[in-house]
Amino acid sequence: MVHKSFLLFAIVLILGLSSLTNGFTLQRPTQQCAVQPKARVNCGYPYISAQTCHSRGCCFDSSIPGVIWCFFPGSDSECIS
């Protein structure tokens, strides 16, 4: 009986912790995302959302029309997947 209770407690704990991380998005410090618009390297696809871009570990800035919105941070060479 003790083993079943422990197993149930472990499952509830894991499910609770996983639900807390569902809303978590990785956002880079501002200085890492301070990449000149013409120097941005694409890290997404056209019309990617900010949330999806950040979840890939990339920077998002849609304030300048005609340039890449989702891009690699300045000090990294690849997205975190």
Q: What is the pLDDT of residues 21-62, one digit of tens each?
A: 444 445 555 678 999 999 999 999 988 999 999 999 999 999
Residue 29 has a pLDDT of 59
39 within 8 A of 71, measured Cβ to Cβ: no
**What pLDDT does residue 74 have?**
84
Q: What is the pTM of this model?
A: 0.56
CATH class of residue range 25-81: few secondary structures
Structure confidence at residue 28 (pLDDT):
53
Given a cut of 50, whether residue 79 has pLDDT beyond it is no
Contacts 24+ apart (CB under 8 A), 4-12: none
Give 62: exposed, middle or buried? Use CB within 10 Å, 0-12, 13-18, 19+.
middle
Q: What pLDDT, on a 0 to 100 scale, did the predictor assign at position 23? A: 46
